[in-house]
Amino acid sequence: MTAAALSVRDLGMQFEGLSALADVSMEVPAGEIHGLIGPNGAGKTTFFNCLTGFYRPTAGELWLDAQRVDGLPTHVLSALGVSRTFQNIRLFANMTAIENVLVGSHIHIGVGGTDVLTARRPSKYAALERVLSLRGAPRAALQGVVELAGAVGRPPAVRRAEAEAVNTARRLLGAVGLAGKENVLARNLPYGDQRRLEVARALATRPGLLLLDEPTAGMNPQESAAMVGLIRRIRDEFETTVVLIEHQMRVVMGVCERITVLDYGRKIAEGTPAEVQRDTRVIEAYLGTRAVKEAGDGSP
Amino acid sequence: MNPIRQLGDTTVGRLPAAARWPLFLALVAMLPFLLSGVWIQMLFFVGLFIVLGLGLNVVVGFAGLLDLGYVAFFAAGAYSLGIMTSPGSPFDLNMNFWLVLPLGVLIAASFGVLLGLPVLPLRGDYLAIVTLGFGEIIRLFLVNREDVTAGSQGLSAIARPGIGSFRIETFTHWFYFILVAAVIVGFIASRLRDSRIGRAWEAIREDEDVAAAMGVNKVKYKLMAFAIGASVGGLGGVLYASFIGFINPAAFSLQVSIDVIAVVIIGGMGSTPGVILGSLVLVGFPRILQFKATADFLSKFEWLRDGLNGIIAAADTVVPGSIGRLPAASEWGRELSDDTRFIIFGALLVAIMVLRPEGLVPSRRRQLEFESDDQPVPAGGAA
């Protein structure tokens, strides 16, 4: 998939009186590596959850290229090219590495109809829409039967698609440095490998927008450096826009072209790493007001 | 064949994997030449529960959806055949068996979707409770809607299948019929497991939110699992009703659901050999105990009974009180398989779950899951 441009307009996420995100707007041009930083509880992961349909945003709009995508179900967003990794690794623990990646390529193994066709924006008339979508139920049932027949009968087209997917999965595992570990259960992989496997699985969905949630968390400096290299390669080789949440400033400053800073669910700064580093509001958010004063005193 | 399935070291037997199943089936197919009628009848029920177990395995083992109302689909299949073919049915349809077979499967499948829709957002315990209720609803429907189901009177003289002038009637015929059904269901289940559908089910079982984030439409695949499981249950119901020839609501109690789920769990979830062994142990063994041959064999132990009764009598004189005496040795098998059966069943279940929590013949995957984490699987495996 080609890299997609992300546009976020006045995004808000409210949980029963707790405002996790408010008026967040940002533009990420196609092919950029964009950093998302902020202190703990700033709303970074909530932002990712809104983008991937885990939460339905309570305000604002999300646009992927020219398509409005907020409120779409998770699997449809995935089909539209939004893929992600998780802060606390969420692999399919009892499946092998290659099977994890194959789940990622699920919709690209062509069997019967695709799920993308059923993508429909939810509206305020949800009840009416549910009634209308019944019209699609026979079609969905037919698609299901076709898919089942394909899986049981295994005609050449299905075999070919499956073999291709296995090849792609091997290639992806190789690309993230997991060659030779295809048949190891995900949960038996060392920690760093698990993080890399999550990236491979996300890449298997052929994302236009890849969301990485703390890809270097818990890694030592060498592993982090390798991950930074991997992120750059992903952007170049897989043609995808990358948004990453990161706490290690060395990583953020090293790999991101532009950075957005969140604090208490609001955007407080945006710009190149150098600009963000100088921003007094950012320093304040991270280190407190005294630090800003001292920094101000120290500089001419 | 499939490179992804080569998990770890897979040299289970010395036979090549491709030859194992045909050989096993050939041996099973020879059984009617070796065994007498009651044994074949027993094997029919074992086969029936293998079919049911394989179907439930798709729902519970593959997709991880705990379904305690499986009897509902079994009943749907059985009553489809009963209502459409029995002369005593409230609707005088008298249809042909072969016509009703696909219809019954289809009806059961739609029941599966019907159950699936409301329980889509439920997980684990909640799902189990709702499915349990669903099974009871169906049973109560069978009892109370006499205008549709003939109520507790039941339906009799249910159609038997025939091909031309040949009618499937004897135990041996039925044995081969159920064998063919089990092979077909087993084949379909294994093909599904090794497809993208099977992977989607597994992903949903592992973490359904992440599965959705990877593009898996969880509504579609959960409904698919319910529908497949239900159609197999329906198939089992049709075969059962035709074999027995008479059905009434008492045959479709919660006990059936529990028996099937026990077959799946005891055998080892997700494993076909496990389902076969589980069915032999849980369905076959209690029936063997009831055989006359077993009674004849046990009657040789009359001396043991006399001895034990002597001890009991001695104990009775020391501590007065009425302790019963053991029944005739020839009755032991029947006694065991009737009332005591559930005690032994329960003890067996507990013992197996303690000693082999992964089941008697776990699937390769389960085996790996139950291995402790500090014993990493040899990387690369057989690839």
Amino acid at B84: M
Cβ-Cβ contacts under 8 Å, B199 against chain A? 95, 99, 102-103, 106
Measure the CA angle with vertex B100, ends B112 and B258; round to 5°: 40
Cα angle A183, B271, A100 (rounded to 5 degrees) comes to 30
User: Do strands A67-68 and A209-213 pair parallel, antiparallel, or not at all (unpaired)?
Assistant: unpaired
Question: Are the CB atoms for A225 and A190 separated by under 8 Å?
Answer: no
B227 neighbourhood in chain A, CB within 8 Å: 144
A-B contacts (CB, under 8 Å): 143
Which among B199, B206, B379 is the nearest to A181, CB-wise?
B379
Min distance A161 CA to chain B CA atoms (Å): 10
**Beta-sheet pairing, A266-271 with A258-263:** antiparallel
Residue written as token pair 């019944």: A134
**List of domains in chain A:** 6-81+207-298 (3.40.50.300), 113-154 (no CATH)
B interface test, pick of A48, A55, A86, A106 with most B CB neighbours within 10 Å: A106
| A33-37 and A241-245 strand pairing | parallel
- What residue ranges of chain A have pLDDT lower than 50? 112-129, 132, 134, 298-300
Of B8, B207, B216, the CB nearest to A106: B216
E strands present in chain A: 6-15, 18-28, 33-37, 59-64, 67-68, 82-84, 209-213, 241-245, 258-263, 266-271
Nearest CA in chain A to B216: A75
Q: Nearest CA to CA, how far is A56 from chain B (Å)? A: 14
Query: Considering only CB atoms, which residues of chain B are within 8 Å of chain A?
Result: 3-4, 6-8, 187-188, 191-192, 195-200, 202-203, 206-207, 209-218, 220, 223-224, 227-228, 365, 368-369, 373, 376-377, 379-383
| A250: Cβ contacts below 8 Å, ≥ 6 apart | A221, A224
Q: Which residues pair with B166 in a beta bridge?
A: B163
Element (H, E) at A16: none
pLDDT of residue A40: 85
What's the CA gap between B130 and B124, in Å, rounded?
10
| Residue A212: exposure state from Cβ atoms within 10 A (0-12, 13-18, ≥19) | buried
Under 8 Å between Cβ of B284 and B46: yes
CB contact (8 A) between residue A83 and residue B213: yes
Q: Which residue of A has its CA nearest to B215?
A: A75
Q: What is the CA radius of gyration of chain B?
A: 23
- CB contacts, 8 Å: B220 with chain A: 115, 140, 144
What are the chain A neighbours of B214 within 8 Å (beta carbons)?
78, 83, 103-104, 106, 201-202, 204-205
Chain segment A50-79, per-residue pLDDT in tens: 999 999 999 999 999 888 888 888 988 998
Residue B25 Cα to chain centre, angstroms: 19
Cβ(B107)–Cβ(B76) below 8 Å: yes
Distance CA B306, CA B290 (A): 22
Q: Which residue of B has its CA nearest to A140?
A: B220
| Predicted pLDDT of residue B383 | 32
Strand, coil or helix: A198:
helix
A74·B198 Cβ contact <8 A:
no
CB contact (8 A) between residue B196 and residue A162: yes
Both tokens assigned to B232: 């197999």
Question: What is the structure's pLDDT at A299?
Answer: 44
ipTM above 0.90, yes or no: no
**Alpha carbon of A138: minimum distance to chain B alpha carbons (Å):** 12
- Whether B196 and A180 lie within 8 Å, measured CB to CB: no
Q: What b/e readout covers B64-77, taking b as 16+ CB neighbours within 10 angstroms?
A: bbbbbbbbbbbbbb
A252, A240 contact by CB (below 8 A): no
Residue A56 in tokens: 């339905």
- DSSP assignment letter at B371: S
d(C-alpha A62, C-alpha A8), whole Å: 5
> Tell me, what amino acid is at A93?
A
Q: Which residue from B minimizes the CA distance to A169?
A: B4
Q: How far is A166 from chain B (nearest CA, A)?
A: 8
In terms of DSSP H, where are the helices of chain B?
A: 17-34, 37-57, 71-85, 97-119, 124-144, 146-149, 171-193, 196-206, 208-213, 218-244, 254-267, 272-279, 285-290, 292-298, 302-318, 332-337, 341-355, 364-370
Q: What are the boundaries of each domain within chain B?
A: 37-254
pLDDT at B274: 87
Q: Do B195 and A154 touch (CB under 8 A)?
A: yes
Mean pLDDT in each 10-residue stretch from start to end of chain B (383 residues)? 43 63 86 83 92 94 90 94 85 84 94 89 86 91 86 84 82 90 93 90 93 91 94 95 90 89 84 87 82 77 80 77 72 71 76 79 66 42 34
